[in-house]
Amino acid sequence: MAYEINPCTACWMKYQRGDCDINSLNNCLVSTAGAFSQFPSTNSIRGTAAQDNWTQCINDKMTQIGRTPCDFQLNMAPVFVQVPHYFPSLMAQLGDKDLALKKAIEACSKSTYPAECKINCQTDYDAVIMMKPSVKPSVKPSVKPSVKPSAKPPYTKESYSESPSPGDFPTYNQIAKGKPIVFWIAFSLMALLLAYSLVIFIIILMKPKL
């Protein structure tokens, strides 16, 4: 798991919220920050986030004792390696903060300075701040709503027409004016058919009954 290092928090916890002299705090900050670097030294801290952490922590301590950088100049303390720091390498290897502390304390039993070694283990442990894994919001695929086809297709102008009203049919006058030839031919045929029917009817009436 990802984690960050905050030596200032760990050292203030070690000395009961900064209840120590500024030089002891300086030694603790440099020793803790250097333990998490590949080559523990003051040069490995300069130009990194650990240096910013050191500067802020020292300035807070100066404020506590009523001093300022203008009347009190303090440089980083040298890194001492007499007492080992087992926790940082175990933390990087195991990725489990509590398990790394347990293993580190067990290793201190073989150290020349077991008491100081265990103090380093606890301070290094307190300097580790575990980072919560970022959780990406799940994106659900958009689902288009299913559209059921209607039982009957909607009527359009091409597929539907209203029932014709009587006014929709042309009159005889309109036909005579619009198409006179067609009108007179049809009129003559109808007149001949009517006359023929009338003659047949008269003949039937005048035929004597047997």
Averaged pLDDT for residues 140-167: 54
- Residue 149's pLDDT band, with cuts at 50, 70 and 90, is low
Give the DSSP H/E element, type plus range, for residue 34. helix 22-35
Contact 37, 81 (CB under 8 A): no
- Residue 160's pLDDT band, with cuts at 50, 70 and 90, is very low
Averaged pLDDT for residues 71-97: 92
State how far the Cα of 39 lies from the Cα of 46, in Å rounded to an integer.
12
Does the pTM of the predicted model rise above 0.85?
A: no
User: In this predicted model, which residue has the larger pLDDT, 103 or 131?
Assistant: 103
In this predicted structure, what is the pLDDT of residue 5?
A: 95
Q: Is the pLDDT of residue 18 over 70?
A: no
- Tens of pLDDT, residue by residue over 57-70, are 999 999 988 988 88
What count of other Cβ atoms lies within 10 Å of the Cβ of residue 53?
22
In this predicted structure, what is the pLDDT of residue 154?
A: 53
Name the percent of the chain lying above pLDDT 70: 72
Per-residue tokens: 12: 């203030």
Q: Is the pLDDT of residue 104 over 60?
A: yes
Point out the least confidently predicted range of 97-111, 148-162, 190-204.
148-162
State how far the Cα of 30 lies from the Cα of 36, in Å rounded to an integer.
10
In this predicted structure, what is the pLDDT of residue 177?
A: 60
- Residue 175's pLDDT band, with cuts at 50, 70 and 90, is low
**Domains in the chain: boundaries:** 3-130, 171-206
State how far the Cα of 64 lies from the Cα of 87, in Å rounded to an integer.
30
Residue pointed to by tokens 């926790």: 87
Residues 6+ apart with CB under 8 A from 40: 34, 79, 81, 85
Of 106, 107, 108, 112, the C-alpha closest to 82 is: 112
